[in-house]
């Protein structure tokens, strides 16, 4: 019983360190998208962050992120993604396979995705953390065992949002940390570009999410 409790406590400590840290280093600032990296002592992989101002409503942005069957349309290097289990409109589990450049092997993961909104500020937090046991591991694909990402979506004007995403992932296996860091930073920038474009599609602009207040 001690091991699960320890892991849970460690997870909360890590989340506090990652999201509360102020030592982010700007790596890129173009196309109105900023990308940052940060390093927590003891981690071999850097945490990464992207920020941008996106013209959209809260429901638009939430709906495209929660549309897990089509993440490959905008999330960089995603080969496939699919819903595993929907708990509610604001909570689900999904599976995704990620293409990695040769000679590395593709990775996959199952994530628990939740969305919460502050009733006063209307700020939305969407968090995705990998879980184990829901989908059997597949031959020839390395299962990611450690991944946590968090979206912070802040309304700043009518149909205008400040969007921030923080990710910490260790893809396991014999991939040099420098390659992972380079791949992740490039991927996050491209994902934000894709997101900014696709969020305007009719299926998202007309999204009806009654649990979200604009």
**Residue 144 belongs to domain with CATH number:** 3.30.530.20
Helix (H, G, I), strand (E, B) or coil at 211: coil
Determine, yes or no, domain membership for 211: no
Determine, yes or no, domain membership for 1: no
- Give the whole-angstrom CA distance, residue 66 versus residue 54: 17
Determine, yes or no, domain membership for 152: yes
On average, the pLDDT of the chain sits at 85
Strands 142-143 and 107-117: parallel
Give the DSSP H/E element, type plus range, for residue 12: helix 2-20
Q: Which domain holds residue 110?
A: 23-205
Phi, psi (5° rounding) for residue 180? -60, -45
Let me know the angle formed at the C-alpha of 119 by 199 and 86, rounded to the nearest 5 degrees.
55
Phi, psi (5° rounding) for residue 164? -130, 140
**C-alpha closest to that of 51 among 32, 38, 66:** 32
Q: How many domains does the chain have?
A: 1
**C-alpha closest to that of 26 among 59, 61, 51, 63:** 51
Predicted confidence at residue 41, as pLDDT, reads 60
Determine, yes or no, domain membership for 112: yes
Determine, yes or no, domain membership for 139: yes
Give yes or no for residue 188 having a pLDDT over 70: yes
Predicted confidence at residue 1, as pLDDT, reads 31
Determine, yes or no, domain membership for 125: yes
Contact 79, 107 (CB under 8 A): no
> What predicted TM-score, i.e. pTM, was given to this entire model?
0.85
Phi, psi (5° rounding) for residue 70? -130, 25
Determine, yes or no, domain membership for 8: no
Q: State pLDDT tens for residues 22-62.
A: 589 898 999 999 999 887 665 666 789 999 999 999 999 99
Contact 132, 110 (CB under 8 A): yes
Give yes or no for residue 102 having a pLDDT over 80: no
Determine, yes or no, domain membership for 14: no
Predicted confidence at residue 145, as pLDDT, reads 86
Cα dihedral 81, 83, 87, 93 sign: negative
**C-alpha closest to that of 29 among 45, 49, 47, 46:** 49
């Amino acid at each position: 019983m001690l091991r699960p409790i320890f892991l849970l406590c460690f997870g909360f400590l890590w989340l506090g360190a990652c999201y509360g840290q102020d030592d982010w280093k700007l790596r890129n600032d173009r196309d109105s998208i900023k990308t940052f990296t940060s390093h927590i002592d003891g981690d071999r992989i850097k945490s990464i962050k992207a920020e941008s101002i996106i013209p959209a409503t809260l429901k638009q942005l939430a709906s495209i992120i929660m549309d897990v069957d089509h993440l490959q349309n905008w999330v960089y290097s995603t080969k496939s993604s699919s819903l595993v289990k929907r708990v509610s409109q604001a909570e689900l589990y999904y599976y995704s396979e990620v293409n990695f450049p040769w000679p590395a092997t593709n990775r996959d993961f199952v994530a628990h995705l939740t969305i919460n909104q502050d009733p006063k500020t209307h700020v939305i937090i969407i968090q995705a953390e990998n879980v184990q046991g829901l989908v059997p591991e597949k031959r020839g694909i390395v299962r990611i065992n450690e991944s946590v990402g968090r979206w912070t979506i802040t309304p700043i004007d009518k149909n205008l949002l400040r969007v921030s995403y923080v990710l910490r992932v260790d893809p396991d296996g014999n991939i040099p940390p420098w390659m992972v860091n380079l791949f992740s930073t490039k991927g996050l920038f491209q994902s934000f570009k894709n997101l900014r474009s696709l969020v305007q599609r009719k299926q998202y602009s007309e999204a009806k999410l009654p649990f979200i207040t604009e």
